[in-house]
Amino acid sequence: MDAAGLLTRAAVRHAAGAFVIDDDGQVTYAEALRASRAIAGGLLARGVQPGDTVGLCSRDATPLVLHILAAWLAGAIPAPIDPRTSDADLPYFLGDIAPVLIVATDEHAERLAAHSEAAAIGFDVLAREGGRGFGEGLGAVPDRHGPRAPLFWSYTSGSTGKPKACVIESAPVALGTACIAERLGLRSADVIIATTPTSSSFQLVSALLPALHTGAAVRLVSGRDADGIWDASEESGGTVLVAYPLTLGDVVSSARARSDHGFRVALSGGSPLAPRLKRAYADRLGIPLVESYGQSEFGGFMAMGELDGGERALAGYVGRPLPDRLAYVGDPDCAELPAGTVGEVLVPEGFFPGYRNKPAETERTLAGGVLHCGDLAVSDDQGYLKVLGRVQERDRASDRGAFLRELEDRAYEHPAVKHAAVVELAGGATPCAYAELLPGAELAAEVLREFIAAGVACDGMDVRLLDAMPRTFSGKADRHGLSILDA
């Protein structure tokens, strides 16, 4: 099983079905295969070799998705580059991925070319150069992809230094996304509302690849606010909402959130999810909010909730490990710990081969032949995981009496709070809870601090209210920015 094979099979089984929908229209599965083959032909004509990296820079739109698919068909590694990446950060990323070619929209091509030796071309070039050989019919695809083929670049968040690049292989991701699709109960009639950018690996493994398994459609809506998401869902018949926690909070707290909608499930990822948000989706929208737990080193999830999460989901458990990733809670010797014992999340198979250009970090992360996730968690007797915090936080959490995750979940319980993020301030271990209030709500910082302390004992905690929670490009809470906000 590999990603290119998923595409060709989907084009046969769901030829006339909508695959990708954006603001300009839609492409069917058959159209997507024909177009991506033509683009792949252009890559071959330019001498792109298996394992070469092709940089892709564009807003979220169908051409970006088609060029990702084409890179797979040509045996290349697509490297989506967020167009909002600053000039200061571009040299690091472009030097890391070393693209042989950059495909970018006009407003970004010159800027990217200035930081790379690779040629920069527009999104309309490769399909023309590919000729008819790969564009016609459903036969004769270039045999340059397979189970061990590199699939995409996946960058860590950079919370402990410069983001580290992982090259994810095709077979583990193909299998992992099959498990994701199965647990969500995806079908060809589903329309996935994809709110995260395509430059984030989360979008690939939670929307695009599960769609290839099932024939579902994917509506690209990255960058839209809650009203824009509701508009796109109503226009396209959205049934599955995929988003990070802040966006999920925006959607469910919107004035347009009501019970008469088309969604049947929502999927969260990228950051811890407060139990209150799961309750809000059940109470206000009448649908389950399924939590996922994954990392850049996977190209998938190692644990995920279920459509009927029950009391465990509302108690803060993510869910069970997926069948392809037998995650467990272990000790420093990688031995599994009894249920209820705090330890590190470890995964024995299905992970990346290593970080790009970082052998020491690779050796530490894969010590003992398992992947060390760096997160502390507990599991119950059925294997359900509850993530508590990072390994390096353990001693400080013990000293102050609580993990940051516990404080954040408690902050979310206040009815005036729309978004919350608890971080350790730079230069010390003092935790600070930042909160954005619901429109029209009034709440003093000291009142929120007392509310948090009444539920979770913690020494020396600060609370600060914000007009708006700062976010990263992908839509997560900017925790690093918050930690140095007043430094």
In terms of domains, do 210 and 128 share one? Answer: no
- Across 13-100, the runs of DSSP E, i.e. the strands, are 18-22, 25-28, 53-57, 77-80
Question: Which residue range(s) make up the domain with 89?
Answer: 3-146
- Region 97-113: mean pLDDT is 90
pLDDT tens per residue across span 172-202 = 899 999 999 999 999 999 999 999 998 888 8
- How crowded is residue 134: how many other Cβ atoms within 10 Å of its Cβ? 27
- Region 11-19: mean pLDDT is 97
Tally of domains in the chain: 3
Q: What percent of the chain has pLDDT over 70?
A: 95
- Region 341-347: mean pLDDT is 94
pLDDT band at 163 (very low <50, low <70, confident <90, very high): confident
Per-residue confidence (pLDDT) for residue 114, from 0 to 100: 86
Is 160 a member of any domain? no
Is 76 a member of any domain? yes
In terms of domains, do 420 and 315 share one? Answer: no
Per-residue confidence (pLDDT) for residue 344, from 0 to 100: 95
Per-residue confidence (pLDDT) for residue 487, from 0 to 100: 57
Is 179 a member of any domain? no
pLDDT band at 139 (very low <50, low <70, confident <90, very high): very low
In terms of domains, do 381 and 410 share one? Answer: no
CATH of the domain at 457: 3.30.300.30
- How crowded is residue 77: how many other Cβ atoms within 10 Å of its Cβ? 23
In terms of domains, do 18 and 42 share one? Answer: yes
119-121: strand order across its sheet: 77-80, 53-57, 101-104, 119-121
Reading the block at residue 92, the tokens are: 């690091």
Paired sense of beta strands 385-390 and 150-155, if any = unpaired
In terms of domains, do 222 and 132 share one? Answer: no
The answer, yes or no, to whether residue 134 has pLDDT greater than 60, is no
- Region 328-353: mean pLDDT is 91
In terms of domains, do 376 and 468 share one? Answer: no
More confident residue, 245 or 394: 245
Q: Tell me the average pLDDT of the chain.
A: 89
Per-residue confidence (pLDDT) for residue 224, from 0 to 100: 94
The answer, yes or no, to whether residue 327 has pLDDT greater than 80, is yes
Per-residue confidence (pLDDT) for residue 143, from 0 to 100: 65
In terms of domains, do 234 and 359 share one? Answer: yes
More confident residue, 48 or 351: 48
- Please say whether the beta carbons of 293 and 303 come within 8 A: yes
- Region 309-338: mean pLDDT is 90
Choose one of 146, 177, 208: the last residue of a domain.
146
Per-residue confidence (pLDDT) for residue 97, from 0 to 100: 85
Is 252 a member of any domain? yes
pLDDT band at 140 (very low <50, low <70, confident <90, very high): low
The answer, yes or no, to whether residue 150 has pLDDT greater than 60, is yes
Angle CA 141–80–193, to nearest 5: 90
Is 153 a member of any domain? no
In terms of domains, do 310 and 365 share one? Answer: yes
Q: Report the SS3 class of residue 240.
A: strand
pLDDT tens per residue across span 428-444 = 668 999 999 999 999 99
In terms of domains, do 292 and 353 share one? Answer: yes
Per-residue confidence (pLDDT) for residue 61, from 0 to 100: 94
Range of 150-154, 431-435, 458-462 with top mean pLDDT: 431-435
Is 472 a member of any domain? yes
More confident residue, 445 or 314: 445
pLDDT tens per residue across span 206-251 = 999 999 999 999 999 999 999 999 999 999 999 999 999 999 999 9
Per-residue confidence (pLDDT) for residue 470, from 0 to 100: 94
Is 280 a member of any domain? yes
0.85 exceeded by pTM? yes
In terms of domains, do 453 and 364 share one? Answer: no
What does the DSSP assignment read for 164-188? PEEEEEHHHHHHHHHHHHHHHT--T
pLDDT band at 132 (very low <50, low <70, confident <90, very high): low
CA 470 remoteness from chain centre: 18
pLDDT tens per residue across span 84-99 = 888 888 888 888 888 9
Per-residue confidence (pLDDT) for residue 417, from 0 to 100: 97
Least confident of 80-94, 152-166, 458-472: 152-166
In terms of domains, do 35 and 136 share one? Answer: yes
The answer, yes or no, to whether residue 161 has pLDDT greater than 90, is no
- Please say whether the beta carbons of 346 and 372 come within 8 A: yes
In terms of domains, do 245 and 129 share one? Answer: no
- Region 363-380: mean pLDDT is 91
Per-residue confidence (pLDDT) for residue 266, from 0 to 100: 97
- Region 266-290: mean pLDDT is 94
Is 186 a member of any domain? no
d(CA 443, CA 285): 26
CATH of the domain at 116: 3.40.50.12780
Choose one of 364, 393, 422: the last residue of a domain.
393
Choose one of 122, 146, 170: the last residue of a domain.
146
